[in-house]
Structure 1
Amino acid sequence: MENWITQLLTLLALPEYGLVTLFLIAFVSATLLPLGSEPALFGLLKLNPELFWPAILVATAGNTLGGAVSWAMGWESHKLIDKYRHSDTHLRALDWLERIGPRACLLSWLPVIGDPLCAVAGWLRQPFWPCLLYMAIGKLARYLTMTVALLWLFPGGFSF
């Protein structure tokens, strides 16, 4: 059993490509910490264009798992936040999120509101797996769109 873990870690470590670094940056940027993963993804792809799909998938996985952490933080903070949920804006936002349900996590890719949206989905006790699926779809779409747009704007020896 130890052998496959070593092989997996060796595969993911690939220091010349930086996929682990990309994963970590994407993970942290999906939590409530302010960090953007798109520049890391773009830089990696400019240096290693043959890694287009592995890099997109690694960034999506890291960002989705970071969103899951935000969801879990929201789940655990439910009692604390209940004290402050009586403003009109807050009640309208909660009503909208409760009506849409886990599909709202498709918007987790949006700057500023996307990461807190994952936390609020957890706080509202939305089901984890559907939220995770919608997060992954939204984040994959963002990474594909942003990366293709950046590579189109800054071409140079790239093909995927």
Structure 2
Amino acid sequence: MADGRGLSSGNSDSLLFLTDEQIRQGSEAMFFAYRGFTADPDRILIDLAYGRAHHRAIHFINRAPGTTVNNLLNILGVTKQSLNRVLRTLISDGLVQSRVGRNDKRERHLYLTDPGRALEQQLSDAQRARMRAAFRDAGPEAVAGFRTVLEAMMDPELRQSYIRLKDSST
């Protein structure tokens, strides 16, 4: 849309017939929004010599304390080698604790330590502040629509993981 108002302008019925240009604008908006969403945690992580993979691991270990390494692999969609590198660092730095499974000694269950929870809180607080401000500016209908679009973009198996995670917090 040439007027610079993006996809939010006009009648919602017109969104049923999006042009390639409108789709491109939506893709670019998502790209720049993601950069903004990750910018605050990135500034915190750089001082610790950590990256986004560390942040994702910390986030999902916090969301599901005791999660297994295999479950974390499935959620993050990374290689075992990549995740092991991240976990080794987080464990050696005292942010994550790995415990042997009670029923299956081959399983490793992951927990954040107190310093790990403090770092997760700091990283999430920064992102929540940005999300809260954006949601407040956009309004409740836009928030509901945003969630609907994000969920519709998920692959079916990832949507199931998302739903399980969402349901575990209610």
Larger RCO (alpha carbons 8 Å, 6+ apart): 1
Q: By the TM > 0.5 criterion, same fold? A: no
TM-score by length of 2: 0.26
TM-score by length of 1: 0.27
